[in-house]
Amino acid sequence: MKLRLGFLYPNLLNLYGDRGNVECLLYRCRARKIEVQVEEILLDQPLPKLDLLFSGGGPDLCQKIVAEDLAKVKGEALERFIQEGKVALFICGSYQLLGHYYRPAEGPDLPGVGALDLTTQHFGLAKKRCLGNVQACLNRNLLEGVRFFYGASCPATVVGFENHGGRTYLGPTMEPLAQVKQGWGNNGEDKTEGVFYQNILGTYLHGPLLPKNPHLADWLIGQALAVKYGEREPLTHLPDDLAWQAHRKAWRLKP
Amino acid sequence: MNFYLALLVARFLATFIAKLHLGAGSTWPGEVVLLLCPSFLEKVKERFSLTTIIVAGTNGKTTTTQLIREGLLVLPEAVISNLAGANILNGLASALVINYAQLRRGPVTAVFEVDEAVFPTACQKLVPRLVCLLNLFRDQLDRYAELEITANKWRQALSGLPSSTKVILNADDPLVANLGLTAQGPVIFFGLGGGLVSSGKEQIDSGDSRWCLECGSELTYKGCFYAHLGFWSCPHEHITRPHPNYLCSGQRELAKGGVAYRLSTGDREVEVILPLRGIYSASNVAAASAVLGEWGLALADLASSWADFQPAFGRQEEIGPVLLLLAKNPTGLNENLKLVTQAGPGPLMLMLNDGVADGRDVSWIYDVDPSLLAEAVENRSVWVAGSRAEEMALRLQYALGNLSWPLEVNSSIEESLTKGQASLKPGEKLYLLPTYTAMLESRRVLQGRKIL
């Protein structure tokens, strides 16, 4: 079996150890003899044919450059990729740009890809920055898939760290990735965190989300294989003891 | 409150802390004096003959400040500084409270290392005669936000300083070098020489500041020293690395111990020997030589000024068989891993805490170059400790591509240090790479006393 893994804008959207997610996916595929070819997709390059896509977060300056590139070069292909039911993980800045727009505190809106019914607004100094440790309970529909691929024993939770000024509001047809137990999540108001749409995960839990949430990593891999080969198969077990220790500790961290 | 009354209370507190061995008193007297008299720093500046040098930057502040301080000791003025690394306003105020007797006696030169976020306020209050800006790396993004935001605050701070303030900048760091554009006073650059370009793979990838501020194009590098420091320029020639006025052009390890640095300015050249390793030390030494040179010292004086230099606490400091290499951000950890790789036998101990002073967010450990981690652990046993030990251990296993790789994981720093030292074979050292609060705690365990 073989997967083509895309890493979108690795030199622009790589603010908080985002590369750790790619390292994690690569390792977990190779440990199961799944061949992986990583494609780093840069500015001005078209979106190649992929089975799995990852994109991280970046500083404001880079977010702007990315928004322009999406509008000019990759936006349509990315929307097609999403609507075709392909598998991807988008974090923070790139998650925001999947929606209709990102409205900064000052200046004009950054147009999003518009593939997902969500909008993001930065309220400037009027509202606090959403920052801290997050503990959240996975969407039940997603959890079903997660447990199919990973095994029924895995926790129903997701842990991580968020740091965002923009607040995201999901449209009525959108489901969140998780429900926040502690932390801000999408906007600090409705307890939603991230988005789960077809085979797309969007989240504010930045950086190395996957190493300490290995069940999500395996969902991405398992689902990508299922979409590509048309057959849904549980993945073989990996020694994740340390990952779950880190996960359980993160579940008890203060904000 | 009245300046002198506030000072009296703070001095009483400082004496109390010292007499009862409650610590070095490097923050509390300052905290109290600022609470009672918020304009304390300005008033000291007004009432006494105080000239200030401020050193700021993500990495190397403490060591550079100490190098400058040692150099200034040959001058007639008294020299004070915040040596314990207490680098926010209460630390600066504490240093002034503790050294009040010197201020009363005559002219004092203060050399202060200042936290990145506090730099603008410190500039405003103390109006330094000279500022030295070392570098900007990704560090504690949960506290400082993005690098560009810090750079913008620094830019504003520099434009608010009078034209009598000299500004000394790192030519090798594009974001720092570009700050020269807004300075009112004279700008002097320091940097490294072509001979120090790293022969290994480029590390610009893990660095920041890779974009031209004028046109947004990715900067190109003719050579790289470490992280994003190197011979950079904008492909459209908007900006390019300025020529350094003070240069560290060579660094070689001596058989008898110590490292020789070749420093030059204009046509003068000198060699100094310091117990500091690593390419980042060359950058710090160049920065200190620039500050001292601009302060009027002859380059030739540096060799004797630095003859008895001892590394600052936790920064290449040796306590018994333990070598402490503070590693609080990706660049610091990358560079210190390189030092461990080149060092003699002995276990590696990584410590990850998530206290406020470390940054609550530990994501940064995934910005560390996995190949450097893999090289450093070759032929060494590895210990992992600290409040987030499991995260560090997991990161290491992913870097090594083996989730079953054997590791000693223990969140207790004290236990890990005790067991780690007990495991040493003759001739081995324990190479300890801790985050900031883990370093303080380790020193407390190793020395049995508090520094801060």
CB A93 within 8 A of CB A66: yes
Interchain contact B366–A (C-beta under 8 A): yes
Contact yes or no for A242 and B147 at CB 8 A: no
Rg value, chain B, Cα: 22
Question: Which of B156, B151, B246 has the alpha carbon at shortest distance from B208?
Answer: B151
Number of neighbouring beta carbons within 10 Å of residue B288: 34
Alpha-carbon span A11 to A13, nearest angstrom: 6
Confidence (pLDDT) at B1: 64
Give this prediction's pTM. Answer: 0.91
**Residue B141 with chain A: CB contacts under 8 Å:** 15-16, 163
**One-character DSSP codes across B305-339:** HTTT--PPTTEEEEETTEEEE---SHHHHHHHHHH
Give the residue numbers spanning the domain of A41.
Answer: 2-252
Q: Which residue of B has its CA nearest to A23?
A: B398
**Residue A252 with chain B: CB contacts under 8 Å:** none
Confidence (pLDDT) at B211: 76
**Residue B394 with chain A: CB contacts under 8 Å:** 211-212, 242-243, 246
Rg value, chain A, Cα: 17
DSSP 8-state code for residue B244: P
Alpha-carbon span A75 to A81, nearest angstrom: 10
Confidence (pLDDT) at A47: 96
**Residue of B362, B364, B368, B402 to mutate, testing the A interface (most A Cβ within 10 Å of its Cβ):** B362
**How would you write the pLDDT of chain B (452 residues) with one tens digit per residue?**
688 889 888 888 888 887 776 666 788 888 999 999 999 999 999 999 999 999 999 999 999 999 999 999 999 999 999 977 789 999 999 999 999 999 999 999 999 999 999 999 999 999 999 999 999 988 876 666 678 788 889 999 999 999 999 999 999 999 999 999 888 899 999 999 988 998 655 554 545 667 787 787 888 889 999 988 999 999 888 889 999 999 999 999 999 889 999 999 999 999 999 999 999 999 999 999 999 999 999 999 999 999 999 999 899 999 999 999 999 999 999 999 999 999 999 999 999 999 988 989 999 999 999 999 999 999 999 999 999 999 999 999 999 999 999 999 999 999 999 999 999 999 999 999 999 999 999 999 999 855 44
Q: Any idea what the CATH number is for the domain that residue A82 is in?
A: 3.40.50.880
Residue B163: phi, psi to the nearest 5? -70, -5
How many domains are contained in chain A? Answer: 1
How far is CA B299 from its chain centroid?
Answer: 22
**Residue A15 with chain B: CB contacts under 8 Å:** 138, 141, 146
End-to-end CA distance of chain B: 27
Residue in this structure with the two tokens 């302060």, named with its chain if needed? B295
Query: Predicted ipTM?
Result: 0.95
Contact yes or no for A65 and B370 at CB 8 A: no
How far is CA B109 from its chain centroid?
Answer: 20
User: What tokens does B273 get?
Assistant: 């020997």
**One-character DSSP codes across B404-433:** T---EEES-HHHHHHHHHHTPPTT--EEEE
Residue B66: phi, psi to the nearest 5? -70, -40
How far is CA B24 from its chain centroid?
Answer: 20
Q: Which residues of A are designated catalytic?
A: 92, 206
Q: How do strand A130-138 and strand A178-182 relate by DSSP bridges?
A: antiparallel
Q: Which residue of A has its CA nearest to B138?
A: A15
